[in-house]
Amino acid sequence: MSEPILVVNAAFGAIKYYVIDVDQKEPLVRGKASGIGQTAPGEVTLTRDDQTHLLEQRLPDHLSALGAILRLIDEYGQPVGQLAAVAHRVVHGADLFAAPTVITPAVLEAIKDLSPLAPEHNPKALIGILAAQRLLPDIPHVAVFDTSFFADLPAAAAAYALPAELTERLRIRRYGFHGLTHRYVSERASLLLGRHDLRQIVCYLGNGSSISAVDAGRPIDVSTGFTMIEGLPTRARSGTIDPGIHRYVIERTGMDIVEFDRILREDSGLLGLTGMTDQRQVWTAADHGDERAALAVEVLVHRIVSYISAFHGVLGGAQAISFTGTVGEQDVRIRKAVCDRLACLGVEIDRGVNAKTLGPIRSRIISTPRSGIAVLVVQQREPLAMARQAAALLGWKRKTPNSPEAVATS
């Protein structure tokens, strides 16, 4: 066993955490602290193997929540003294961080300065980092940035056609998000297909969604942009809309820009179209004749196909398409609907392989040998990707990086 790494994802009112051995594909333990900052008792869970432990207590802040997490880890998981590092998920690194970095006072200040670019995320990550550093002061803390994979997008993909003075002064460009997942899935797809020069499209479909075009490991386009609103509609986000709608709505309703921005982030997407946020509920409603639900499915499929088709052209012909994320991995019907629309590109899936959902979802090829483009389902493993990036930064190596066992657990 390698030295375990604590992976922390701090959000508003909650902390998700994992203890990862980078030589293993599954976390040693995982859990969540919820109800942070509430007057009622919060909950802290820890799951190891098939057993879950629960701690209920007031969690006035992230420091108390992380302290409770460490007590559970120490009692039911891994001795806290054996933790070798902490990897923190930070959403926005802008153009300052193109790779994971050891957290120093200067890095903390930079994350704070970038908070206007991700006001819902960076401040919470900063709070989580400060709490973890206070409780675990003797081990390195590493910031792993969700935008870093897309830091070197080609200029033509990254630039918006706005006045240069404005974009340069305010750091306006397409940053791209969910980069941790896009990097891991693109590497995994290359491994499964035995090609490191692969031209591929990664479809991350979940609570948040994005699509990327990756050429030989380098991203060359992405659906998300300056914010995560751009791109696909999601559970509650609108996805790309005409910017002129902002002014029209504000002038016609008297709503201010802050409230309309909240609607785009919290009341749109599946929720706005159907009143539901669960894709399974939307399918059920559509099957029972709900026209709004049927429209929502069509909108999502249409936008996914539009991005895949566009990125197929950008790549000069994609050789693989991967589906990942909760929806991408588990929604058989979405995959089939999308791939059926891509028959014009030579896409053909094996419906039997696509439909297999029993047992743990495993990475696999779901296209037929005749398909002009390989189609895969790849498990999302963001915590593992974070831990491995942190370990690589710190100079640790997996015990047997070239062995069949290491390849099987990638």
Residues labelled as active-site residues: 146
Determine the Cα–Cα distance for residues 82 and 79; give it in Å rounded to an integer: 6
Determine the Cα–Cα distance for residues 232 and 323; give it in Å rounded to an integer: 14
Determine the Cα–Cα distance for residues 180 and 187; give it in Å rounded to an integer: 11
Determine the Cα–Cα distance for residues 108 and 126; give it in Å rounded to an integer: 7
Let me know if 51 is exposed, middle or buried by CB neighbors in 10 A (0-12, 13-18, 19+). Answer: exposed
Q: By the 8 A CB rule, do 26 and 20 touch?
A: no
Let me know if 357 is exposed, middle or buried by CB neighbors in 10 A (0-12, 13-18, 19+). Answer: exposed
Determine the Cα–Cα distance for residues 125 and 147; give it in Å rounded to an integer: 14
Q: What is the CA radius of gyration of the chain?
A: 21
